[in-house]
Amino acid sequence: MPGFFMSLIVTSQLMQFPGELALTSGAVLGDYRLAYETYGTLNADKSNAVLVCHALNASHHVAGSYAGQPKSEGWWDNMIGPGKSVDTQRFFVIGINNPGSCFGSTGPMDVNPATGEVYGADFPVLTVEDWVNAQALLLDRLGITRLAAVMGGSLGGMQALSWTLQYPERVRHAIVVASAPNLSAENIAFNEVARRAIATDPDFHGGNYYRHGVVPQRGLRIARMIGHITYLSDDVMNAKFGRELREAVDGVVRSDYHYSTQDVEFQIESYLRYQGDKFSSYFDANTYLLITRALDYFDPARTHGGDLTQALAVTRAKFLLVSFSTDWRFAPARSRETVHALLENRRDVSYAEIDAPHGHDAFLLDDPRYMSVVRSYFDGIAKELS
Amino acid sequence: MPGFFMSLIVTSQLMQFPGELALTSGAVLGDYRLAYETYGTLNADKSNAVLVCHALNASHHVAGSYAGQPKSEGWWDNMIGPGKSVDTQRFFVIGINNPGSCFGSTGPMDVNPATGEVYGADFPVLTVEDWVNAQALLLDRLGITRLAAVMGGSLGGMQALSWTLQYPERVRHAIVVASAPNLSAENIAFNEVARRAIATDPDFHGGNYYRHGVVPQRGLRIARMIGHITYLSDDVMNAKFGRELREAVDGVVRSDYHYSTQDVEFQIESYLRYQGDKFSSYFDANTYLLITRALDYFDPARTHGGDLTQALAVTRAKFLLVSFSTDWRFAPARSRETVHALLENRRDVSYAEIDAPHGHDAFLLDDPRYMSVVRSYFDGIAKELS
């Protein structure tokens, strides 16, 4: 009954935190709000909560659709919902938007209560650890002491891993998908190019563009185009676009070049420009800078002399890690580093390496093997709880 | 005697072509000049000429140094010179700068003879085939009917391959290093992001920035940073930079983050910014657009329904192809495509896949196995000639 799967209607909620969130940097975030959504029902002993952490371009809107907006499915709606791999008829699933985001939680476009001015460039730099602390405070308010599971893909997987380090007693299971224990030099390099594209856009105004009534759209466009290349595999790009020329307006595939450096010649160019334009029309540039920086900084082994095994010794959770064969942003080898470090600590780890052609994007796509691995794992969690 | 190797003093030359060069696009390039250099002596029967074709960021200055400028070594000086792999005591080596470049041959900063205005955006779009035609006309003027060899790396390798298709009877040997028979979708994608960074820089002025007294330096910087990432392997980046923080001014390695989205935190960021700044201070933006477009367009199989074997049937040369294991810009698999297509045509092909950690950049570096493969191959050519 596919109609059944479509029926989850959800609403966004906001929770205000009047206190100050102490940040890793030494700064504080004062009087902030978090946007979140919940799906399913918290059981009597509050043991069935699953927290979902989001990646760069995502939000607390993880599953379901908003009333009257059938195309507003959450970003992991193929994974989470009634009867799905993470079954909201059994689990109480929470999606949280991280502070610094532009999708509902307090971010750089908000007014800094300390100055009465829009934050802009003054928004404090946040780390993965800070986000996890903010998420923990929201769980406190919901009365949830211990999570059945925390899960996330990519940057969301880093948050899930960090939960098991910061709050080892509050996490039964961590599901870490298409992630890494830190960024490689190449990962940082791509982030840096994206940040420079934004920061050198004349409309950036040092991050205070709001008060000039502009946004650094050119820079954001470039940032997103770079990002998109790293989300896809070379294979899937060749399969999807190859060297195809852009279709003419009438749908006829051209066979000859324009001989122009400015016109779109190839389908891949058209695709990237479209993605860049779309993204730059809704995403906030300061948020992009903040989130890529949080990615750069994440490195739990850093305070242990680079020894990941030592860093993961505090974990108490059980783990499922999933990686995808053609993901070159967070390659399977990066997930295996975490798996090995956990095994050296004799932790309970399941690991699936899915042979999928879609690169990093695979973690958002509907691969049946991937979905069934997660389903089986959550079946196991449900059995533990019952 | 290392001192001996340092002794090649060279001078740049210019040759004027008063006619019109007919271009693939249908346009013409009128009254143009080519910059070139030669090393060694052309023998009596003019059979020992080796043409070297340059890649994106290079010129006709292939070997030796300019008088009084000991640090001005040519870009392939480790490969070419007296006693080197390509021995200028035996071969007459010619480096040519392609039209459209910013290093001496007629380019977008020159005056268009048809209008009396600087070309800027009006400079015609050139293809690899156009460059080869221009190179052939220069050889005509030097009285060279047939090359002992044509050689090049990356985009230069595409020109070498194209020589064997456009002028099969004029090439004895083609040495094609770290190249590909066309760009993949991902290659085009990176070029397109670089082009968009340049073209959306407000200082670009549609390509006519010269008359505004500015250059789109921000865009060029981003373009070069992207390029640099694709020239290096993930491995060499991790080995060279890893997650090292930038050293403080006093040379002490910092151990803590700044928590800033704007400051340089990591060595890799510092390196990329430096490379971007340096490049954008001397390279012309229109040239960057033109050269990346020539890369995109190159695809000899295109007019043969995508059949590379059929496309290469006209070749008469013998071939040496070299690729490098960690080159992900033009991976070994791309060189193998060419090797297979040549073998299917029963051509004489040598192929070396060098296990080197340096990515695409390896073709410019001093790997002893690479140098000795090329040396042996040229020893063979010398024997054929004697």
Q: What is the reported pLDDT for A280?
A: 97
Q: What is the ipTM of this complex?
A: 0.94
Task: Write out the catalytic residue numbers of B.
Answer: 154, 327, 360
Contacts A286 to B, Cβ<8 Å: 261
State the average pLDDT over residues A68-80: 95
Q: Do A234 and B186 touch (CB under 8 A)?
A: yes
3-class secondary structure, B258:
coil
Q: Do A238 and B185 touch (CB under 8 A)?
A: yes
Closest residue, chain A, to B199 (C-alpha): A262
Q: What angle do CA B290, B274, B69 make, to 5 degrees?
A: 80
Q: What is the reported pLDDT for A88?
A: 97
Q: What is the reported pLDDT for B298?
A: 98
Contact A59, A156 (CB under 8 A): no
Q: Do B261 and A293 touch (CB under 8 A)?
A: yes
Q: Does pLDDT of A141 surpass 50?
A: yes
Q: Does pLDDT of A4 surpass 80?
A: no
Distance from CA of A24 to the nearest CA of B (A): 9
Q: Do B189 and A243 touch (CB under 8 A)?
A: no
Q: For residue A319, give both structure tokens.
A: 């783990």
Q: What is the reported pLDDT for A6?
A: 53
Closest residue, chain B, to A264 (C-alpha): B192
Distance of alpha carbon B298 from alpha carbon B154, whole angstroms: 12
Q: What is the pLDDT of residues B275-313, one digit of tens each?
A: 999 999 999 999 999 999 999 999 999 999 999 999 999
Contact B133, B17 (CB under 8 A): no
Residues in chain B with pLDDT values less than 50: 1-3, 249
CB half-sphere exposure, A376, CA atoms < 13 A = 9
Q: For residue B314, give both structure tokens.
A: 């006209």
Task: Write out the catalytic residue numbers of A.
Answer: 154, 327, 360
Question: How buried is A4 (Cβ within 10 angstroms: 0-12 exposed, 13-18 middle, 19+ buried)?
Answer: exposed
Q: For residue B218, give both structure tokens.
A: 């921000």
Q: What is the reported pLDDT for B252?
A: 62
Q: What is the reported pLDDT for B1?
A: 40
Distance of alpha carbon B47 from alpha carbon A303, whole angstroms: 65
Q: For residue B201, give both structure tokens.
A: 């820089």
Alpha helix locations (H) across A216-331?
Answer: 217-231, 234-240, 267-280, 285-297, 308-311
State the average pLDDT over residues A293-312: 97
Q: Does pLDDT of A338 surpass 90?
A: yes
pLDDT higher at A4 or A288: A288
Q: For residue B20, give both structure tokens.
A: 């019109």
pLDDT band for position A254 (cuts 50, 70, 90) = low
Distance from CA of B317 to the nearest CA of A (A): 28
Residues 6+ apart with CB under 8 A from A68: none
Report the Cα–Cα distance between both ends of chain B, in Å, rounded: 27
Q: What is the reported pLDDT for A256?
A: 87
Contacts B192 to A, Cβ<8 Å: 225, 266, 268-269, 272-273
Q: Does pLDDT of A368 surpass 60?
A: yes
Q: Do B199 and A262 touch (CB under 8 A)?
A: yes
**Strands (DSSP E) along chain A, which ranges?**
9-10, 13-22, 28-39, 49-53, 65-66, 80-81, 86-87, 92-96, 147-153, 171-177, 318-324, 349-354
Distance from CA of B86 to the nearest CA of A (A): 34
Contact A27, B259 (CB under 8 A): yes
Q: What is the reported pLDDT for A386?
A: 86
State the average pLDDT over residues A6-31: 94
pLDDT band for position A248 (cuts 50, 70, 90) = low
Q: What is the reported pLDDT for B3?
A: 43
